[in-house]
Structure 1
Amino acid sequence: MKAALLKAYGGIDRFAIEDIPTPKPGAGEVLIKIAASAVNPFDLILRQGVMAQYISLPLPAVLGGDAAGTIAELGASVTGFAIGDRVVADFPANGKGAHAEYGVVAATSVAKLPAALTFEQGASLVKAGLTGRQTVDALGVKAGDRVLVSGGLGAVGRAAIQYLKQIGAKPVAGVRPERLGEAREVAGDALDITTAPSPAFDFAISAAAPVAANLIGHVRDGGQVASIVPVPEGANAGNRVVIHELYHRTDAATLDAVLDAAARGVLIIPIAETLALEQIGAAQNAVASGVQGKVVLRHG
């Protein structure tokens, strides 16, 4: 099968499109013929070797955590899926990822893709949709609660904002001043996250590293912040607020809910660029440039 191989840590020149053996699913796993995969900021960190001391990839490695395609083969003991099912999958960062023609993943990390969604849409929803919901759930937000979301126009921020709307909460997108108009269209309310903070919120979601300290300043004493970015040193002096540091986790039931919301049109994450698998370097550069929306690779 064709795969985008990372031959060594470094720049995009370390990628090579090569043929490698098609993997076989083991017990509890499925083989997916991948139609589309998404490129996430975390893929860039893995490529550069920034996380090598924590996640040591078996080089050459296949990156890519989010995929959509069809079930090609079932491993032993797998139930609930059939060959030919349209699915999305949440691949782990183990060097055997989604930027290839086929991929093997645990069946517990797979969800069926509704007919209303394209493969490209499905691939764009996986980690962003899961993480957005998980930040909201960590806070225990209820209907009527106001929640400040930094990075509200990023994929995770959009997913969180739209989920907050679903449960009847009141999201406020924290963005830079030039994006306030667009943010109001998405969230209904927005504020300039770069201004001097005023502690007016009980809840906040921190999804943009450059303004993490400012976001914390907007939360009242005893309030809660769900953060998917590093908390700057000294930003929470005296543990003034409760901070939940979150890392994405795979969850098929939550992924089902994300896909259902997208199929019903209540979750929209825009796709900025769709490129061929062979253009993985250009795709990573697009993500690094801060392109607004998901970057998706089409396979074949």
Structure 2
Amino acid sequence: MGATPTMKAVVYTKYGGAEVTTLATLPRPTAGPGEVLVAVAAAALNPVDVYLRNGLMAQITPNAFPQIAANELAGTVVALGAGVASFAVGDRVMARVSKTHTGAVAQFVSVPAGYAARAPASISLAAASGFPLCALTAAQMLDKLSVSAGDRLLVAGGATVVGQYGIQLAKMRGATVVATASPAGEPLVRRLGVDEIIDYKSTTLTGWAASNGAFDKLFDAAGPRDDVSDLLGAAADGAHIVTVSGPNNPGSFDAYVPWWKRWVVNGVLWSRFRATCALASARGLRYEYMFMNPDGAQLGELGRLVDEGKLEVPL
């Protein structure tokens, strides 16, 4: 009987700062039923990886140490699990590895086939590794807001990667897009086709909206931040706000915690968020914190936009 195949991976040994990160030798995974085994070419890091490493989300999604770092990647399929017919060995793919955990910075990663998509042929695997989380986040925020032709949309954080995808995808839907950006970010945001720019260094959202009109749909990628009063001030009564930057509202973790734990989590969120909830409720505002849902089919559609030259990939 031969030795168990191994691989190198970057892991977290416990909760903490950068000092808990190390290079380790681990057993090489296999492709289970419904999974693809990927030889990783590149992986990407995002702000959420810091929260998962330092324990900020430990009560919601606890780590099992050693925990492989990062949660999105691109590479080449080297094996197929039982029941997988959507990919073939040799396919270039990109994926988020899990809805709740990290695990991308390794030589080999096994991911659910439903989370993966073929990587755009027009970009490198390095560029594709940073595509799933931010592109899907932007697309799903626009879906939640039901952005369509004729809408006037505020994109707060226009020069963030999520904001850049949001601007491009909203313009494809026919929306008028107003985005926040600093003077340094203005050329980038303008090139993506925004209709108006708010210089957040010199103008508040509330003040700008008072002079130019409030928004019915607000896409918030400018953060992280605890105070969303200025964002609420730019919203018209009855507006819909979707954020990945502001505080979590009660219910935002329901898909990630067992039912018996939700009342505790939501109670904590309510105590932290009650002032904002009260203000939003008084004005009929719908405020939602959103977590991206891994979706290989949607990711594939976004990748096709890249290959068609319609969606620019920031790197």
Question: What is the TM-score with the length of structure 1 in the denominator?
Answer: 0.84
Matched, 1:202 2:211: no
Q: Name the counterpart of 1:249.
A: 293
Cα shift at 1:237: 5.3
Q: Is the 8 A contact 1:68 1:87 kept in 2?
A: yes
Q: Is the 8 A contact 1:135 1:205 kept in 2?
A: yes
Matched, 1:53 2:53: no
Most deviating of 203-212 and 142-151:
203-212
Residue identity in the other structure for 1:62: I
Q: Name the counterpart of 2:116.
A: 110
Task: State percent identity of aligned pairs.
Answer: 34
Q: Is the 8 A contact 2:52 2:101 kept in 1?
A: no
Equivalent residues in 2 for 1:1-300, closer than 5 Å: 1-92=7-98, 97-176=103-182, 179-188=185-194, 189-193=196-200, 194-195=203-204, 197=206, 198=209, 200-209=214-223, 210=225, 212-231=228-247, 233-234=275-276, 236=280, 238-271=282-315
Which of structures 1 and 2 has the larger relative contact order (alpha carbons within 8 angstroms, sep 6+)? 1
Change (3 A) 1:80 1:147: same
Most deviating of 236-245 and 113-122:
236-245
Most deviating of 37-46 and 200-209:
200-209
Residue identity in the other structure for 1:2: K
Structure 2 distance, partners of 1:242, 1:130, is 21
Cα shift at 1:80: 1.4
Residue identity in the other structure for 1:224: H
Cα shift at 1:196: 5.2
Structure 1 distance, partners of 2:168, 2:228, is 21
Q: Name the counterpart of 2:264.
A: none
Q: Name the counterpart of 1:278.
A: none
Cα shift at 1:239: 4.3
Q: Name the counterpart of 2:257.
A: none
Cα shift at 1:200: 1.8
Q: Is the 8 A contact 1:59 1:95 kept in 2?
A: no
Across the aligned residues of Structure 1 and Structure 2, the Cα RMSD in angstroms comes to: 1.9
Q: Is the 8 A contact 1:173 1:187 kept in 2?
A: no
Residue identity in the other structure for 2:216: D
SS at match of 1:20: strand
Structure 2 distance, partners of 1:93, 1:253, is 15
Gap runs ≥5 in structure 2:
1-6, 248-272
Structure 2 distance, partners of 1:196, 1:127, is 27
Cα shift at 1:66: 1.0
Structure 1 distance, partners of 2:215, 2:102, is 42
Which structure has the larger Rg? 2
Question: What is the TM-score with the length of structure 2 in the denominator?
Answer: 0.81
Q: Is the 8 A contact 1:63 1:93 kept in 2?
A: no
Deviations 1:172-230 (A, max 9, x none): 11234554444323342211345151252111101123373322211111121112233
Change (3 A) 1:77 1:47: same
Residue identity in the other structure for 1:83: V
Q: Name the counterpart of 1:281.
A: none
Q: Is the 8 A contact 1:62 1:97 kept in 2?
A: yes
Cα shift at 1:266: 2.2
Structure 1 distance, partners of 2:120, 2:48, is 26
Residue identity in the other structure for 1:190: I
Q: Is the 8 A contact 1:147 1:202 kept in 2?
A: yes
Change (3 A) 1:130 1:36: same
Change (3 A) 1:94 1:3: farther
Residue identity in the other structure for 2:313: I
Gap runs ≥5 in structure 1:
272-300
Change (3 A) 1:215 1:95: closer
Runs of 4+ in 1 over 4 A off after TM superposition: 93-96
Cα shift at 1:125: 0.8
Q: Is the 8 A contact 1:109 1:251 kept in 2?
A: yes
